[in-house]
Amino acid sequence: MNNCFAAIFIPPSFDLSLLDKKVAGIPLLKRLILTLNRVGFEHIVLFGSKKKLEDCDHLNKELATDHRFKGDLIRLEEGHYFSQLEILKDKHCLAINANTIVLKETISSFFQTSQASESFKTNHVVQMAGERHERLPLFLLPLECLSALDSWNQSGNPPVNISLIPADSDAPIFVSSVQNRSELKQAERTFIAKHRFHYSQLMDIWFNSFFALRISSLLVKTPFTPNQITLAGLLIGLLASYGFAQGNYWGGLIGSLLLAFTAVWDCCDGDVARLKFMESDFGEKLDTACDNVINVFVFTGIMLGVAKVDGWNQALLPFAMLCLGGGGIFILIYFPKGGKGAFFKGTSIYSAIQLLASRNFVYIVLLFGIVGELDWFLWFAGFGSLLFALELFRIRLKTLALRKTQQELP
């Protein structure tokens, strides 16, 4: 976004206190600034009346110490002109009102679509249009039209001669300007619900998201970080393994329910990280590590519970098969460069690897727990993991041979 800056307009008659109301744990205006910065805008201009800008002084202090913000926030009072700002010369402008809640994916999609449009190339101001061709409060101004910003600054009204650009149907779209607290609350609910598009696995989309997004909408209002939420999920998983180890029906059922809940909870740390702009490589690695630790303890707990009821012979053999197969799967999936099955991308088994990584197996455990036959699950898991590891190994050898042949071709 080096060739573009973002301009945020504070509407003249707008109740400024609304900009400090929190949307998913972050004040409305601060969320908009962080969203634009996360999209890639380094220079963000905030302008309105002198009084309104003075009331926003605290934002500069907050952003100066906020590691999530990496850019410049420039204030421009009414009566001053964009042309006076040397840093903004020779740049296009993305313009938006301060009372807007928007997905960063919506901004990215609009920016890319607009820059490729004939209207923008022929120096027209473009505005985003919704699915029903309604005008959405997102504008892109080419260099030749930046004088319109000064008029907008003086009058408080956007340019009149505008070309509408329809939203990209493949991108998640949400942009809403709010005028009061009631509209803000409604927009917040829709905004959080729209984050469902981040889910890719079947059970996450059609089941886990129904509960996870509701839990996440509460967690974002607390001081808990995504990593703390991940560690809380680990604790829930350990409690599930303790239930399995009791060797009785109710212990197995409670353990199964807690394990199923970890699949829902596992979505929440990612939701909170995205909503609070706190995604990190460490957080992703911690999440993967905790998932694997939970799996180890849960299967060990099931083995101990089966041993209490049926004896060690009936528990150790399937558990040994599970350890051998599971260890092989882990090595084949995570140790080749890229992790999570990257080596197998493009092969017939890649989708199965992603399904396995999603921990959807917890619902199979739940079914066996409900009928009180966790010993059957242990045998099922033992045989299944061995067969899957052997198939992974076969496809790996076949893929390596194929790639070697391709490299030898002239």
% of the chain beyond a pLDDT of 70: 91
The fold of 4-190 is Spore Coat Polysaccharide Biosynthesis Protein SpsA; Chain A (3.90.550)
Residue predicted with more confidence, 313 or 348: 313
> For the whole model, what pTM was predicted?
0.87
Cβ-proximal residues to 164 (8 Å cutoff; 6+ apart), any chain: 126, 127, 128, 129, 133, 135
Residue 69, pLDDT above cutoff 70: yes
Residues paired with residue 94 on neighbouring β-strands, in sequence order: 6, 140
Burial label, 155 (beta-carbon count in 10 A; 0-12, 13-18, 19+): exposed
- pLDDT, residue 199, reads 84
pLDDT in tens, 76-123: 776 666 666 667 777 788 989 999 999 999 999 999 888 888 888 777
Average pLDDT over the chain reads: 87
When computed from its CA atoms, the radius of gyration of the chain, rounded to whole angstroms, is 27
Q: Give the whole-angstrom CA distance, residue 192 versus residue 101.
A: 11
pLDDT in tens, 255-307: 999 999 999 999 999 999 999 999 999 999 999 899 989 999 999 999 999 99
CATH 1.20.120.1760 occupies which residues in the chain?
199-408
Q: How many CA atoms lie within 13 A of 162 on its CB side?
A: 21
Q: Give the whole-angstrom CA distance, residue 141 versus residue 133.
A: 20
The fold of 199-408 is Four Helix Bundle (Hemerythrin (Met), subunit A) (1.20.120)
pLDDT in tens, 175-209: 999 999 999 999 999 999 999 888 877 788 888 88
